[in-house]
Structure 1
Amino acid sequence: MITGMDRLVAAIKGEKADRIPVFCNLLDQGVKELGLASLHDYYQLGEYVAEGQLKMREKYGYDNVWSLFYVGKEAELLGCRKILFSPDGPPNVEHFVIQSYDDIHNLEIPDDIIHHPVFAEELKCLQILKREVGGRYPICGYVTASMALPALLMGMDKWFELLFMGPPDVRDELLAKCSLFCQRHIAALRELGVDVIVYANPFGSTDFVPLPYIIKTGMPWMKQDLSAGTQGIVYYCGGARFNQVIESVISQIGIETYYLSPLDDIATGKQIINGRGLTCGVINDIKLIDWSEEQIRQEVKRMLAAGMAGNKFLFGTILMPYKIPERNIRAMLDAVYEFGQF
């Protein structure tokens, strides 16, 4: 039997399995699979999240599982005391840890993430996933880059203000602390056997900041975040475009997997990567809420025609919105399984 890990390894090597690997990033939908009352209840226990991940992978047949609960978990590890749980959307940070520059000076980075009380349920989830599917299906983890993490700690508007107009010494103090956290988070996930680590950095996209700024200011922080090596790291800009940045990242950092934006041209991205890594074509999964099944089928067909030539290609989603109808999830995956065969 060919496993998801077999497909991923073949794609990385530029070889052919039965089909391309498919990463379908269903998170909040696990609450439906377990019949729980709310997302708040679902995310209270690592056993629930692990069971949801295993059930959804088995149900739909794609190739990965996630240890990620929700992005705000990182803020909780750094002192966030309240997460806002929506009835039909992803949880988000409600309490910002940083309210003043003094809070930056007082921000403490945990030495031991694995045994941190806030990490306890994610640890349980990872242990279950490793036991049940480890080695057969890639286990994915998620870390936020040092340039992006402050937005979870102080809000996007205040972070933009500090980043571009605030005192440089205060900005750099916060970035240094966030980079240390990112490094320790990556180390913890690797120690626990996570296979794929999505390195999320919207500030590595020209949709957020100009390319010269990324190269001059952003790249040194990326290098520091990833100073322990890029094995298993996936470069992801939170759905923002970054075809213009790929060449610089390859040459300066050496990341070998690029999770494109739905707004990036797949053929162009693959041409830039030019066999030096894995290209991940990503569907605009927000549109899956309203698209017809035929529209989904045609979009998948278009994407695979652009990306499959020459191998080293993976089909992916962003973080699938909770409101996508199940029939549309199945339509997308059925189309990938059909057109993604070799």
Structure 2
Amino acid sequence: MEKRYTSMERVLTTMSKHEPDKVPLFLMCTHYCAKFLDVSIKNYFSKPENVARGQMMLLKKFNNDCLNPFYSAAHEYAAFGSEVIFNEAGPPNAGEPIIKNFDDILKLQPPDVKNSKILRNCLETISILKEEVGMSVPIAGGVLSPFSLPILQMGFDKYIELIYEKPELLEHLIKINERFCTEWANMQLAAGASFITTIDSMSVSSIIPKSIYLKTGFLSAKRTIPTIKSDVAIATSSASSASILEEILESGIKAILVSHTDDLAEMKKKVGKRATLLGNLNGIEMCRWTRSDAELNVKEAIRKAGDGGGFILCDSLGDIPYQVSEDILYEISESVNKWGRYPLNWR
């Protein structure tokens, strides 16, 4: 008789590089779930109960294998004293940079995570979900990487200037962010998260030369990842991480969200059994997909990376756009059930 896996068992088997019953599916939705409750995105994020309810509806609608209580990068950054700016049909945006000039870096203190209302809401969401699912479904925590957080704290242009012209101040800022990242990640784990995803859009070679990354973001990652008390995944905001793949693995990352610009088969070959791959459906193109497109893309991703476990189907950003039709999400789910059953003998 075929073993019936819970989502947690399916994911853990996959991450151990063995084949479960089928390829796990992570439809990672944040603001998208406001649709299910028929409320505005601002209203949706106003109560932890709303976010928890939206995630549970996502789980049941599409046979999803993960809960994603991450609110937004703007919410995390707001804990430093900024604000969250809401859109009608998109993710929340961050408010103005809190670092207006380089001297402000020396005055900056990490947020008091325990007493930040905006962070407590996220922790409460995690706790509600943990109460609902226990150990049957993994719950994803999320943090901005210490090296990428300054993009919001001071703006991209000023941050680039800091990197090239003020290395000592850069180190000071990153160390502050590392303390926050570690505390915030581990508090999510204590609330019930199963693993942590670090969102690191700054480290990729399309943004900053690898030679600079090796002296900055890479060193920060090697310091920070071991302080997080769970497996850690990395998401690079749909940018290719292929050029820094070995460094990502050396830092201790156990799962990599693969860009839609990367070849899954090639990434699987390079990574081998050292990490699990997630991806790499193109979320932007998904807005225009037909159901046939969805099935074709799911089948192709599984063909390239599904053999032997170590692969979770996901979009390449880790956040489904609001404009994607629910019909397409249903088709993705049905296609995983059709083409992702192990052993993969349909080719």
TM-score bracket, normalised by the shorter chain, equals over 0.9
Gaps of 5+ in 2: 343-347
Once structures 1 and 2 are overlaid, which stretch shifts more, 41-50 or 93-102?
93-102
Q: Confirm or deny that 1:43 pairs with 2:45.
A: yes
- Of 12, 27, 33, the residue aligned with 1:24 is 27
Number of residue pairs the alignment of both structures matches: 337
2:261 is matched with: 263
* Separation in 2, partners of 1:249, 1:88: 33
Work out the CA distance in 1 between the residues paired with 2:73 and 2:61. Answer: 24
User: How far apart in 1 are the matches of 2:232 and 2:267?
Assistant: 18
Give distance in 1, aligned partners of 2:227 and 2:172: 21
Contact 2:186 2:228 in 1 (8 A): no
For the 8 Å contact 2:201–2:236, the answer to whether it is kept is yes
Residues 225, 253 of structure 2: 8 Å contact kept: no
- In the aligned structure 2, how far is the partner of 1:134 from the partner of 1:286? 33
Shift of residue 161, structure 1, vs aligned partner = 2.3
Structure 2 counterpart of 1:101: 102
Q: What letter corresponds to residue 299 of structure 1 in structure 2? A: N
8 Å CA contact 2:34–2:41 kept in 1: the answer is yes
Query: How far does residue 16 in structure 1 lie from its aligned partner after superposition?
Result: 2.1
The aligned residue for residue 137 of structure 2 is 137
CA contact (8 A) 1:230 1:254 kept: no
- Superposed counterparts of 1:1-342, under 5 Å: 1-36=4-39, 38-80=40-82, 82-110=83-111, 112-164=112-164, 166-229=165-228, 231-250=230-249, 252-317=250-315, 318-342=318-342
Q: TM-score, normalised by structure 2?
A: 0.93
**1:72 aligned counterpart, secondary structure:** helix
Q: Which structure 1 segments of 5+ residues have no match?
A: none
- Counterpart secondary structure, 2:216: helix
Once the 2 structures are TM-superposed, how far is the Cα of residue 248 of structure 1 from its aligned partner?
2.4
SS at 1:226 equivalent = helix
1:117-167 deviation digits (Å, cap 9, x = unpaired): 222211221110010012111101111111100011122222122222x32
Aligned amino acid, residue 329 of structure 1: L
| 2:225 aligned partner, one-letter code | L
Looking at structure 2, the residues matched to 170 and 216 of structure 1 have their Cα atoms a distance apart, in angstroms, of 14
Distance in 2, matches of 1:95 and 1:31, equals: 25
SS in 1 for 2:142: strand
**Contact 1:230 1:255 survives alignment (8 Å):** no
Percent identity reads 25
- Displacement of 1:73 in angstroms is 1.3
Q: CA deviation at 1:54?
A: 0.5
- CA shift, 1:229, in A, is 4.9
Counterpart contact for 2:47–2:121, Cα < 8 Å: yes
Letter aligned with residue 78 of structure 2: E
What's the CA shift string for 1:174-213, capped at 9, x where partnerless? 1111122111112212222211211111122122122222
Query: After the TM superposition, which of the residue ranges 195-204 and 47-56 deviates more from structure 2?
Result: 195-204
What is the RMSD computed on CA atoms of the aligned residues? 1.6
Give the match's secondary structure for 1:135.
coil
1:169 offset after TM fit, Å? 2.1
Amino acid across the alignment from 2:206? D
